[in-house]
Amino acid sequence: FQLSSLFRYFGTATSTAVTMSPKKVTIIGSGNWGSAIARIVGSTTKSFPDQFDPQVRMWVFEEIVNGEKLSEVINTRHENIKYLPGKILPENVVAVTDLVESCEGSNILVFVVPHQFVKGICEKLVGKIPSDTQAISLIKGISFDKNEQGVSTEKKGGLKLISEEIKEILKIEVSVLMGANLAPEVANDNFCEATIGCKRKAEDGPLLKKLFHTDNFRINVVEDAHTVELCGALKNVVACAAGFTDGLGYGDNTKAAVIRLGLMETTKFVEHYYPGSNLETFFESCGIADLITTCYGGRNRKVCEAFVKTGKTMAEVEKELLNGQSAQGPLTAEEVYLMMKKTGLDAKFPLFAAVHKICAGEMKPAELVDCLRNHPEHM
| Catalytic machinery residues | 235
Q: Which of 260, 222, 209 is nearest to 40 (CA)?
A: 209
Residues 6+ apart with CB under 8 A from 320: 306, 312
Residues 6+ apart with CB under 8 A from 317: 303, 306, 307, 310
Q: Which residues pair with 195 in a beta bridge?
A: 178, 220
Please give the DSSP secondary-structure letter assigned to residue 140.
-
The reply to whether 183 sits in an annotated binding site is yes
The reply to whether 31 sits in an annotated binding site is yes
The reply to whether 34 sits in an annotated binding site is yes
The reply to whether 127 sits in an annotated binding site is no
Beta carbons within 10 angstroms of residue 101's beta carbon: 13
The reply to whether 32 sits in an annotated binding site is yes
The reply to whether 328 sits in an annotated binding site is yes
Q: Which residues pair with 110 in a beta bridge?
A: 27, 136
The reply to whether 276 sits in an annotated binding site is no
Residue spans of beta strands (DSSP E) within 86-162: 93-96, 108-111, 134-137, 142-144, 159-161
The reply to whether 67 sits in an annotated binding site is no
Q: Quick check: 338 and 144 in contact, CB under 8 A?
A: yes
Q: Side-chain half-sphere of 34: how many Cα atoms within 13 Å?
A: 28
Beta carbons within 10 angstroms of residue 72's beta carbon: 14
The reply to whether 278 sits in an annotated binding site is no
The reply to whether 140 sits in an annotated binding site is yes
Which residues are documented as binding site for substrate?
140, 299-300
Which residues make up each annotated binding site for NAD(+)?
Answer: 29-34, 61, 117, 183, 299, 328
Known binding-site positions: 29-34, 61, 117, 140, 183, 299-300, 328
